[in-house]
Amino acid sequence: MVRKIKIGIFKFTSCSGCQVEILNHAKKFLELANKVDFKYIKILRKGKIQYFDISFVEGSVSEKWEIEQLKEIRRKTNYLIAMGACSSLGGISKMQNYISREITKNSLPIGKYVRVDYKLRGCPIVGEEFFRVIKELLVGKTLRDFEISICRECRARKNSCLIERGKFCAGPITYFGCKAICPENNVSCIGCRGIMRDANLKSWIKKMKENGFEKEAKDILKIFNYEP
């Protein structure tokens, strides 16, 4: 009998949006039923911390107990994935770090405290991408980022360029993978999938300044550009 891969899904400081996105694709759990055993799912209050082949961690870290539990998860996990913008970059919850000096607990990505093997990007993540990652790990594939921006996805869908129309958009500097869902619906990309390592930030900020969005551009870099 083939041993099933044990998976845990954990949550720290976040809105649970990434887990909700996963549950929106409930039928896909059945597709993996013969190969995968979801031993811990935080949002469903299922299971307890044990050994996991793969662990997904949603949310940033802002409390002492979260640091301690995160380190325990890392010790008991073979492959750890930061799931979503809060976990991988600090995300929206990291805004508190810049709002008030009275706040003593900074919100930081999990990579500040433990080794992260892969970042599953987005705010929230794309449900299909979650299950694709699992399937690729099951067959031994190596997960890695591709330095491709959301602009390519926009062009593939023949979307009208928001920047050329004088609007704000972080698409040129943001990792692809969301199918350009925001620009597709005439909504500005805010860079929630993270800023690419080789992004031309100087040129992008200059263009945003020309469009009247210099402050917004700098704010986005604070929220979605943290690399531990």
Read off the amino acid at residue 9.
I
What local confidence, expressed as pLDDT, does residue 102 receive? 57
Peptide bond into 124 cis (omega under 30): yes
Q: What is the structure's pLDDT at 228? A: 47
Q: What is the pLDDT of residue 101?
A: 54
Q: How many CB atoms lie within 10 A of CB 1?
A: 3
Tell me the sheet residues that pair with 81: 56, 118
Burial environment of residue 196 by CB neighbours within 10 A (0 to 12, 13 to 18, 19 or more): buried
pLDDT (0 to 100) of residue 222:
85
CA distances from residue 2 to 8, 34, 76 in whole angstroms, order as listed? 19, 9, 21
pLDDT tens for the chain, 228 residues: list them. 678 999 999 999 999 999 999 999 989 999 999 999 999 999 998 888 899 999 999 999 999 999 999 999 999 999 999 999 999 998 887 777 766 555 557 889 999 999 999 999 999 999 999 999 999 999 999 999 999 999 999 999 999 999 999 999 999 999 999 999 999 999 999 999 999 999 999 999 999 999 999 999 998 998 888 654
Q: CA-CA distance, 74 to 113, in Å (whole number)?
A: 10
Pair 159, 184: CB distance under 8 Å: yes
Set out the domains of the chain in order of their start, with CATH numbers. Answer: 5-138 (3.40.50.700), 150-224 (no CATH)
What is the structure's pLDDT at 109?
94
Residue 3, helix vs strand vs coil? coil
- The pLDDT of residue 46: 80
Res 1: pLDDT: 63
Asked if 174 and 149 count as a contact pair (C-beta separation under 8 A), the reply is yes
